[in-house]
Amino acid sequence: MDAQVNMSRRDILKAATAMAAGAVPALAQEPGERPDRATNVEILNPLGRVPMSFIIDDSTCLVNLAYYGIPQFAETWPDNYKQDWRKLPREIPDSFVRKFGTWCAEHGIKGKYSIVPNPACVGCLDRFLPGWTEKELQDSIKLVRELMTPNWDIHPEMVTHTRVIDLKTGKPYPDKNEKFMENWGWSQDKSADELASYMSYGLQILKNIGLDCEGITTPGGFGGRNRANLAKATLQSCRDVFNAEIPHYFRDLFTDDRSVAPRVYYASDLNGEDPKCVVSIIGCTGDWFGGWDGLKPGSVDKFITEDLRGGRLPQVIEKAEPAILVCHWPGIYFNGEEIGFNIFKEIVRRLDARYDNLIWMKLCEIARYWAAKELTTIDSTGSTVTFTAPFATERFTVKVKKNAAGPPRLALEGKQVLLEKVGALGRLGGNTWCEQEDSFVVCFNLPRGVSTLKV
């Protein structure tokens, strides 16, 4: 979620990423190691489908971050935050979380749901939340744990999403200028270790309340001019606090012609005992639901038009890149009117009406697939293709040129696996294959280590 002078809070991503796309070496993240690849093998999307996901920012337990955050932003930039925040609801109730989460589960929706650990400095979720009873807080945490986590990654958005916490005291710094706001200046000159310590503080709060995390969402411009250290710090903090195998983070969204495929950075020790990498997840839409403050209604047509052909999502889906929608929780609730939620329902209806080749995935699932896709060594000798994977992933789908008349044969970790033939790409499932002209398309759960496919 974004906040910056003269810009809406997610819109600054486009400016920041445009800057990063230019000749600014200091911002560049490093890809790290990359393995050799046989030219007769192509790794497709999982099941040969287009991944979809839904990123929800500014969500937390009970607190409406807009209500409590706007007056703090206004203290730093009084000329840019003149919203009458008192008209906003102070709470986004659990009844709405339950309604939203239940509908999404029924429709197979997956994505990322933020839990800001100390939302707008109101109170730490692992201690108490002034204005709500202990039971209300615990019930809210339990609802997220039981209803949301099966289909949604949980991310902190740093610690408060407003003022920076002094880790020595656990209190906000007394300074209220932009250098001590999470959304703006504080993060831009910090080392990877300093950023990791701060991220770990927020992650630990969520661990204390029983919410597992494999990733981070940046608030506002956090790390926008310090991207290499941001990526390194995500890798370090998620591994330190949660032992996450493949940490990921959401920092950028592109609504222009740039690729929105995930970026895999800092890959190392791919052939060793402890392979590492971090994945940057890229959103493909702006927040066209109801905004971060729940003040301006959005539009379904910006995502996908009524004739099912126009809008941003068809552009991305046709490129077969992950189509990851981005929103802010106050706009989904939209002051109790649920305008953003209703927009999302219509988007899903239109997508279902046009496409039968989509697959909803959590961000951690997308990150894992892309790590395996980019970092698995592939050798081809005669009719045998050998995969040496530093990371396992599900529904690994490959297209291999035929080298024999018989069906493909798969061995995972030395054990033969029976593959079932299906009639078309759209019917792929686990341990299946189909034929396409001079190639086989095979789908299986890729284990870490060595697997072979005879074609």
Q: What is the pLDDT along the chain (455 residues), one digit of tens a residue?
A: 443 333 333 343 433 433 333 333 346 899 999 998 999 999 999 999 999 999 999 999 999 999 999 999 999 999 999 989 999 999 999 999 999 999 999 999 999 999 999 999 999 999 999 999 999 999 999 999 999 999 999 999 999 999 999 999 999 999 999 999 999 999 999 999 999 999 999 999 999 999 999 999 999 999 999 999 999 999 999 999 999 999 999 999 999 999 999 999 999 999 999 999 999 999 999 999 999 999 899 999 999 999 999 999 999 999 999 999 999 999 999 999 999 999 999 999 999 999 999 999 999 999 999 999 999 999 999 889 999 999 999 999 999 998 876 799 999 988 899 999 999 999 999 999 999 988 999 999 999 999 999 98
SS3 259: coil
Residue type, 362: K
Gap between the Cα atoms of 293 and 9, Å rounded: 10
CA dihedral 238, 244, 245, 249 (to 10 degrees): -50
Vertex 30, ends 179 and 2: CA angle to 5°?
35
Instruction: Kindly report the pTM of this predicted structure.
Output: 0.93
The encoded tokens of residue 376 equal 């698995």
The helix-helix angle for 94-106 and 134-143 (nearest 10°) equals 10
CA pair distance 393, 400, nearest whole angstrom: 18
Sign of CA dihedral 312, 318, 319, 321: positive
The residue count of the chain comes to 455
Which of 453, 257, 243, 279 lies closest to 365, judged by CA? 279
Burial (CB count <10 Å: 0-12, 13-18, 19+), residue 66: buried
CA angle 257, 303, 362 (to 5 degrees): 85
Q: Where are the domains of the chain?
A: 12-33+50-368, 376-454
Domain 12-33+50-368 has CATH 3.20.20.370: yes
